[in-house]
Amino acid sequence: MTLSTSIHGITFKNPIIAASGTFGFGEEYNELYDVSCLGGISSKGLTLHPKDGNEGIRVYETPAGMMNSVGLQNPGIEAFIEHGIADMRKFDTVLIANMGGHSMDDYITGATMLSKADIDMLELNISCPNVKSGGMAFGIKAEVAREVVSAVRKVCTKPLIVKLSPNAENIIEMALACEEAGADALSLVNTFQAMAIDIHRRKPIFNNIYAGLSGAAIRPIALRMVHSVCKQVHVPVIGIGGIYTPEDILAFMMAGATAVQIGTVNFNNPLAGKELVENLEKLCVQEGIQDINEIIGII
Amino acid sequence: MEYFDSIVLAQFQLTDEIFVLTVERKGASAAAGQFFMLKCWDKELTLMRPISIFKADEDMLSFMYRVVGEGTRKLAELKAGDTISLLGALGTGYPIGEMHGKVALVGGGLGIPPLCQTAKELSQQGVQVDVYLGYRDQLFATEDFEPHCQSIFISTETGSEGYKGFITDLLKPEQYDAVFTCGPEVMMRKVAAMCAEKQTACWCSMEHRMACGIGACLGCSIRTTEGMKRVCKDGPVFPSKIIF
């Protein structure tokens, strides 16, 4: 029985990747279990310069999920290259550097720096909903995304994943534009822009007013988006969105995903990564799946 | 730090909203000022709930908490024999080992329970402890401090018990080698300012909404004079001079 999949020449021992922003750089969860059991880890979202992130409430429970507005707090790409990578390399798993940006120049400079560093893949976040300037803007309009992905592609020597926002005007046009601009893979979806209000204080919960919704609540919509994108693009797709169980993983893979990312579930169960790897194998045996690649895109 | 299932030993309701949950410790680490993430649901709720340690005995852990929402309401429904999941002990607690002489603990509202374990650990290493407890109206946990403290000062906003007014009115920081405080931010800010004026070292315990509880998600970061700090990992206890 094989769980191993590959994306643009990079082999994942299983299709389970820790999603950016939920897993730090792996160190904290490694105190609870050996994170080398995961197929990959996508780093905390990096920006060219260090960022403090947003003020006020950053995480908030919602029905069947949660909202977050962390705002890309991170040490900056330089610090990541100097210290973070060596720490992440202690884990025997695919190392994906996730990078966000505020401007075209930021993306190009950051991608140039990370291309020279010891990472396996670059995941370009053109879709963070929690950063006021930039970020989201690149993730909304396909033509804007095409420009930034083309520019990054020119300088990026690592396999390039582009992470898409479900808030895009048209997710299929967005996916096609990124593929044409040179993305080696797509990951989707990032969080849905959402809102919560404290009626007693008569104020939004989040200082930024809007924040990103994740968890089971978004799963069926994410699955539909993954499916519809997979029908149109030729590059591998990484499915993301409220994946909690091994059954969810198989559903996203049947819809066309080559691998998946798990985020919110880590908060519900800090051992989720390890348990999903173990239980996915059991489920595949039960379902008579010899090689998990057999089921990719069967629907 | 461990993630494990435990058994509920007891649940007591102290007031309309305040409960004490006692569970088997199962060998978990636990130090004054630290907390655990708790959950008694599978996926019905997404996040675990951070609750500070009220008492840590050899075989059991107690948590005193106020029912404020759906998560704490579910915790309050637990009965002896039920299963509960714990992640902990988490965070950086009070610097008990560095203390000597005389220490004041200043608690307000639900900031009072974590100071109980703190009083116990301080007294066990020979530190003289005075405790200042500020309530709105109804007292709780007061008697739990008695075995560990030299003096207990009490205030209520309503005047129903003890001094009528704020607990900070009673505090004289110059009498102490250090002050530990936990409670509403406005109270801790006042305590920190009083300590700064008298050059008494002060530590405060911060509260924040959390997702992971272990320092990975940065959902509980706060601004300090030493940069952004994670309440769940770098705190919840911080030297007050970097916070206020």
| pLDDT the model gives residue B100 | 94
Do the chains contact at A73 and B221, CB–CB below 8 Å? yes
Do the chains contact at A268 and B212, CB–CB below 8 Å? no
Average pLDDT of A265-281?
A: 98
Q: What is the DSSP-derived secondary structure letter of residue A36?
A: G
DSSP of B82-151: -EEEEEEEESB---GGG--SEEEEEEEGGGSHHHHHHHHHHHHTT-EEEEEEEESSS--SHHHHGGG-SE
| pLDDT the model gives residue A136 | 58
| pLDDT the model gives residue A134 | 47
Same domain, B8 and B39: yes
Same domain, B55 and B112: no
B222 touches chain A (CB under 8 A): no
Give the ipTM of the model, two decimals please.
0.95
Per-chain mean pLDDT for chain A? 96
Same domain, B214 and B109: yes
pLDDT 10s digits, A137-176: 788 999 999 999 999 999 999 999 999 999 999 999 999 9
Same domain, B29 and B45: yes
| pLDDT the model gives residue A103 | 87
Same domain, B205 and B114: yes
Same domain, B61 and B110: no
Same domain, B132 and B234: yes
The CATH number that applies at residue B190 is 3.40.50.80
Residue at a domain's end among B30, B60, B90: B90
Whole-angstrom Cα distance, residue B140 to residue A19?
A: 43
3-state secondary structure at position B24: strand
Same domain, B72 and B111: no
Same domain, B36 and B141: no
State the best of A20, A27, A28, A214 to mutate against chain B, taking most chain B CBs within 10 Å: A28
Count of Cβ atoms closer than 10 Å to residue B67 Cβ: 17
Please name the residues in contact with A233: beta carbons below 8 A apart, sequence gap of 6 or more. A175, A176, A179, A186
Closest to B210 measured CA to CA, from B37, B89, B60: B37
Average pLDDT of A16-39?
A: 98
Number of domains in chain B: 2
Query: Rounded to the nearest 10 degrees, what angle do helices A219-230 and A171-180 cross at?
Result: 50
Predicted TM-score of the model (pTM) = 0.96
| pLDDT the model gives residue B135 | 97
Residue at a domain's end among B59, B90, B121: B90
B68 touches chain A (CB under 8 A): no
Q: What percent of chain A has pLDDT over 90?
A: 93
| Integer CA distances (angstroms), A122 to A17, A24, A151, B8, B219, in order | 14, 16, 14, 46, 24
Q: How do A203-204 and A197-198 pair as beta strands?
A: antiparallel
Same domain, B160 and B51: no
Residue in A with minimal Cα distance to B50: A267
Taking phi over 0 as left and psi of -120 to 50 as alpha, with beta for the rest, A26 belongs to left
For residue A65, the Cα-to-chain-centroid distance in whole angstroms is 17
Judged against a pLDDT cut of 70, whether residue A250 lies above it is answered with yes
| pLDDT the model gives residue A131 | 59
Same domain, B100 and B85: no
B215 touches chain A (CB under 8 A): yes
Judged against a pLDDT cut of 70, whether residue A128 lies above it is answered with no
Which residue ranges form the domains of chain A, and what is each CATH number?
Answer: 5-295 (3.20.20.70)
Q: Return the amino acid letter for B69.
A: G
| pLDDT the model gives residue A127 | 74
Same domain, B81 and B148: no
- Residues of chain B positioned with their CB less than 8 A from the CB of A53: 218, 221, 228
pLDDT 10s digits, A177-236: 999 999 999 999 999 999 999 999 999 999 999 999 999 999 999 999 999 999 999 999
Domain that holds residue B67: 2-90
Judged against a pLDDT cut of 70, whether residue A32 lies above it is answered with yes
Judged against a pLDDT cut of 50, whether residue B171 lies above it is answered with yes
A51 touches chain B (CB under 8 A): no
Residue at a domain's end among B64, B90, B116: B90
Q: What percent of chain A has pLDDT over 70?
A: 97
The CATH number that applies at residue B18 is 2.40.30.10
A84 touches chain B (CB under 8 A): no
Of B1, B47, B217, the CB nearest to A21: B217
10 Å CB burial of residue B98 (0-12, 13-18, 19+) is: exposed
